Structure 1
Amino acid sequence: MYQAIGVEPIINCRGTFTIIGGSVERPEVLQAMEAAAGYFAQYDEMAAAVGQRLADITGAEWGLIASGCAAAIKHVTIACVTGGNPEKLIRVPDLTGFDKNQVIIPGYCRNAYDHAVRNVGVEIVMVDTAEEMEQAINPRTAMIYMVTGRGEDQPLSLQEMARIAKPHGIPILADSAAENLTIPNVHLEAGATVVTYSGGKALCGPQCAGIALGDKALLTSTWQASSPHHGPGRDDKIGKEEILGMLAAVEAWVTRDHEGEWQSWLEKLETISKRVEGIDTVTTSVDAPEGLNNRAPRLTIRWDPSVLHITGDQVAEDFARKPPRIAIGSGDGDGSASVNVTPSQLQPGNEQVVAERIHAILTEKREPLNDDLAAARLDVSGTWEVQVQYATSVSQHRWTLSQDGNWVSGIHETDYATIQIAGVVEGNQVKLESHMRRPGNWIPFLFGGSGTGDSLTGTIHLGEYQTATFSAQRTPAGRKGRRVTIPGGPPLAT
């Protein structure tokens, strides 16, 4: 089906990344979705029945299914801001006049997914210590958002946050998107008011679904903020098929043979590991993550790149672009190269394909790696006005660069940031890299282009944000140096 529209499928050795499809839905999920498709139901009645059923299964007070974990986070945030008042609901994200319009987030919990909180229009208040949280809490505080699995070594654990927040009646939303579901729920027991999970990760439910478990009153207001109700959550529509498919995934979770699944994953890794045994300098190891997040074993295959003449990043790039395409992790450094395999989403027979592909590329005869750089035929030192062409807009950036042989460093001024930039010139080819960071977000700018004299053109790779093109013109040098007289005292005229 994918190939019929020109898309080459991918063998997934990375795990439950959304950008390659998350997890594979279980048979029970597909059956429930197909059955749901043939009938109609009133959504409020369905939400009430599903909420009770999730409570019965998980031991939480109530449950809710949303169109993904991020949607659940957004809708819980709305509920904390509106308190279930529809007059407030239809005003979001304009929170003018709202008595609750702040969300506290510990600094170590900032991440790209807290955009779901920010989408509501709240003011984010960052804290790093218990004392700062106590000082930050005020009548405008609507909620505390945190990410589980990160705070064990932090001064602000979930338990500590609950100790501070509970006397003030402030709800805590625990984002556990990629974790295994625990019953009884460890985060609710530790003091979270609501905990959210992705449907398309460990639960192997619909990729476009997620669940929220916890306080019934808060989740009742959360459902009001969710589709099909008109308001700021209407754009996060979830179908009856996904709702019942997600419920089926939770029901299956409590009957799945988790130990058997783990053993089958280890067997797949053993197949791959055995195939690369005996290759010069190759070693293998299997490790398992601690905690509940992205819980699956992982095989790491290491080798000496000076002997096999290929790096881990080169292997991963080759696998990503040539069929059969394989998404695989990689790492290089300290004189070694490696790739790693997470088996949780490998389908029957995939391990054989992966094993043969790794064996073939590591045993292929090739020339030694050459780290020598071609001589630079361009000197890009100076100030450059850079026009960036996005899909539907143009931005003006600026580089201020200095060059030492092949190596380039300097400053990159974007629309909203001034950041460091560095790269290399080989021949008339220029490659520059900078990274724009702000709490919760990260954008790479990877410039690749060529030119002559005072002009450069090329492409910008923006990571998950796709690509853009650029054209750059070097600006004429400023005025020449001159003598400067420093006065010996205050001016006598102005």
Structure 2
Amino acid sequence: MSVFQKLGIEPVVNCGASRSFYGSSIMSDPVREAIDSASRDYVLMSELGDAVGRRLSELTGAEWGVVSAGSAGGLALGTAACIAANDPLRMLRLPQPFHNEERVVLTPKGQRFAYDQSVRLAGARIIEVSDVAELAEALGRRHVVMILLFGERDASSSLKFDEILPLARKAGVPILVDAASEPLACPEHWTSRGADLAVYSIGKLIRGPAAAGLLLGRKPLVQAAWFNGPPHQSFGRAMKIAKEEMVGAVAAVEQWFARDLEAERRQWRLRVQTLRDRLAAIPGLKLDISALAGGIPRLKIDWSEAQPNLTFRELRRELLERRPRILIDDYGGSEHSTMISPFALGDEQIDLVGDALQVALTAARQPAAAPPPIEVEISGQWTVTLDFAVRPAVHQLRLRREGGRLEGQHLTPFGEVAASGVMTENGFELQAFHMVEGNTVSFRFVAENCASDAMSGFVELGAAASHTKGPTTFGQFGRIAFSAVPATET
């Protein structure tokens, strides 16, 4: 029995690569051995920090390196270093402003991402700029502490790194690049081109500890980031990183550069092709192989014609109910498609996935006969109580029923947005999307009890950046109960 089974849960066969939602990746034996060895002795963390920084410099070609609490921790510590350096009078005041000064981080328009909240933790406000003229104007008029780039979007950006670099240099503003999903190279891609700092994930492509990341770059700035983080009593103390994770991260980087990349890619391509061949005979099934981040091929499976009555959510549920459980990913997919990554799959697992998909995608299915929607008039304004932790929140729903359709607005203390949905047998399902700091925040209301004078049910909560939208992220904050009554006129 595995440690997970002892806790009452079953592991999954992971078709979705190395997402944090799925446990990141599986560490190699040398990484596990390094972690086990580090757990058996004490060490001065200051000495370990210096030794790790030096070794990461040797491995990556960057001036220095720090192992952070995930790549998000690297973003936070890198930002803190750009704001407060290694000045304790400033470090210990973060995230508060110094002398009421503005604290701005600039980023190219369209490069906001899910994890830039780590940058805002240091008290910075993120402002998007569209082109060189806007960048120059902002650098001249605002107190800019850093420029943030989302590395994987640079090639398609209207404001590219090579255009930003000379203006940043002239203004003395450091550039931090989030390269968490990119393959690490030597020399490191971004700092070798002039960026001051770059952040990578250790727990994904590099197959190191899931809670570890890398911050690489200019030695004074990276060392300042180290002082802003654990074990020091400063801004990043809450982002604790252990000696085991530091040593495990270094071992993972060593293994990363020692591996036979071409042999690994051949294995990935062979497994994807094996799965494609296994499913190719299914009538109407569309299969397409493409390569995404890290050079890992993906097989896109589109069953919109082969199984038009099967949704992604239904297929995901069916596969998770099997033994062994099989997990398909919503990243890059749609209501009738998914992307299969071979990164976390061995030969035996590819066969298991192929067998399971063959069964699911050839099963006889009939359109589900939807029961008639409940006959109740709910058009009008409702006062909604949401059962958040600590204290409830009061929102408003302005609803308009048109047969089986439901339209309206979701009103919150932060603003209102359009909402739409359908009536169901017992009530309704209603979806509303809000924008918060570049992220789409999802409220999915499911009314399970519905009358003209009261309703109740649950709200599924989540949020996603533009490139991560799907059921996983839009449900990541769980469910809370809600109740509602008609709003009283004032």
Normalised by the length of structure 2, the TM-score is 0.91
Aligned twin of 2:421: 423
Which residue of 2 is the match for residue 490 of structure 1?
Answer: none
TM superposition shift of 1:187: 1.3
Find runs of 4+ consecutive structure 1 residues off by over 6 angstroms: none
Q: 1:130 to 1:63 in 2, by over 3 A?
A: same
Per the TM alignment, residue 441 of structure 1 is displaced from its structure 2 partner at its CA by 2.5
Aligned residue number for residue 469 of structure 2: none
Cα distance in structure 2, aligned partners of 1:371 and 1:143? 56
Structure number, greater radius of gyration: 1
- Quote the Cα distance in structure 1 between the aligned partners of 2:50 and 2:123: 28
User: 1:51 Cα deviation (Å)?
Assistant: 0.8
Q: More displaced, 7-16 or 98-107?
A: 98-107
**Equivalent of residue 222 in structure 1, options 222, 225, 241:** 225
Assess if the C-alpha contact under 8 Å between 2:373 and 2:427 holds in 1: no
Partner SS, residue 93 of structure 1? coil
Contact 2:130 2:159 in 1 (8 A): yes
Other structure's SS at 2:110 match = helix
- Contact 1:428 1:452 (C-alpha < 8 Å) held by counterparts: no
State which of 395, 398, 401 in structure 2 corresponds to 1:400. 398
Which stretch of structure 1 is more off in the superposition, 228-237 or 315-324? 315-324
Question: Which residue of 2 is the match for residue 338 of structure 1?
Answer: 337
Tell me by how many angstroms 1:475 deviates. Answer: 2.8
Shift of 1:397: 0.6
Q: What one-letter code is carried by the residue in structure 1 that aligns with 2:316?
A: A
Superimposed CA distance per residue, residues 79-99 of structure 1 (whole angstroms, 9 cap, x where no aligned partner): 111121011111111123276
* Alpha-carbon distance in structure 1 between the residues aligned to 2:334 and 2:93: 50
For residue 384 of structure 2, what is the aligned residue in structure 1? 386
- In the TM superposition, what whole-angstrom CA distance separates every residue of 1:445-486 from its partner, at most 9, and x where no partner exists? 11112212221100111121111110011236x69xxxxxxx
TM-fit CA distance, 1:321: 4.8
AA matched with 1:328: I
Aligned to 1:205: 208
Structure 2: give runs of 5+ residues left out of the alignment.
Answer: 462-474
Contact 1:385 1:397 in 2 (8 A): yes
In the alignment, the residues of structure 2 paired with residue 364 and residue 384 of structure 1 have an alpha-carbon distance, to the nearest angstrom, of 43
Q: 1:440 to 1:295 in 2, by over 3 A?
A: farther
**CA distance in structure 2 between the aligned counterparts of 1:373 and 1:158, rounded to whole angstroms:** 55
Q: How does 1:300-449 map to 2 (within 5 A)?
A: 300-305=300-305, 309-329=309-329, 331-332=333-334, 337-347=336-346, 349-367=348-366, 369-370=367-368, 374-449=372-447
CA distance in 1, matches of 2:257, 2:304: 44
Evaluate the alpha carbon distance shift between residue 226 and residue 307 of structure 1 in structure 2; reply closer, same or farther with a 3 A threshold: closer
- Rounded to whole Å, the distance in 1 between the matches of 2:436 and 2:308 is 39
Structure 1 counterpart SS, 2:318: helix
Q: Secondary structure at the match of 2:18?
A: coil
Name the residue aligned to 2:20. Answer: 18
Shift in alpha-carbon separation, 1:280–1:19, aligned structure 2, 3 A: same
Q: Report if aligned partners of 1:113, 1:440 keep a CA contact under 8 Å in 2.
A: no
Q: 2:260 aligns with which of 236, 257, 262?
A: 257
SS at match of 1:87: helix
Alignment CA distance shift 1:359-1:51 (3 Å)? same
Amino acid at match of 1:341: I
TM-score, length basis structure 1: 0.91
Amino acid at match of 1:398: Q
**One-letter identity of the residue aligned with 2:252:** A
Asked if 1:125 corresponds to 2:127, the answer is: yes
1:234 aligns with 2:240: no
Q: CA shift at 1:305, angstroms?
A: 4.1
- Residue 420 of structure 2 aligns with an amino acid whose one-letter code is A
Query: Which residue does the alignment assign to 2:465?
Result: none
Query: Which secondary structure does the structure 2 equivalent of 1:109 belong to?
Result: coil
Paired AA for residue 433 in structure 2: H
Whole-angstrom CA distance in 1 between matches of 2:57 and 2:311: 50
* 1:296 corresponds to: 296
Q: How does 1:85-104 map to 2 (within 5 A)?
A: 85-97=87-99, 101-104=103-106
Distance 1:25 1:422, change over 3 A: same
| AA aligned opposite 2:481 | T
C-alpha contact (below 8 Å) 1:378/1:428 kept by paired residues? no
Alpha-carbon separation, structure 2, partners of 1:332 and 1:124: 31
CA RMSD of superposed structures (Å): 2.0
**Structure 1 position 295, deviation (Å):** 3.5
Equivalent residue runs for 1:36-75 within 5 Å: 36-75=38-77
Higher alpha-carbon deviation: 124-133 or 460-469: 124-133
Identity rate, percent: 30
Aligned to 2:190, the other structure's residue is in SS state: helix
Q: Secondary structure at the match of 2:301?
A: strand
Q: How does 1:278-293 map to 2 (within 5 A)?
A: 278-289=281-292, 293=293
Where structure 1 has 5 or more consecutive residues not aligned to the other structure, the ranges are 480-494
Q: Which residue in 2 is equivalent to 1:274?
A: 277
CA distance in structure 2 between the aligned counterparts of 1:352 and 1:4, rounded to whole angstroms: 27
Give the superposition deviation at 1:304.
4.5
Q: Which shifted more, 252-261 or 94-103?
A: 94-103
Checking the alignment, whether the CA contact within 8 Å between 1:104 and 1:141 is kept in structure 2 is: yes
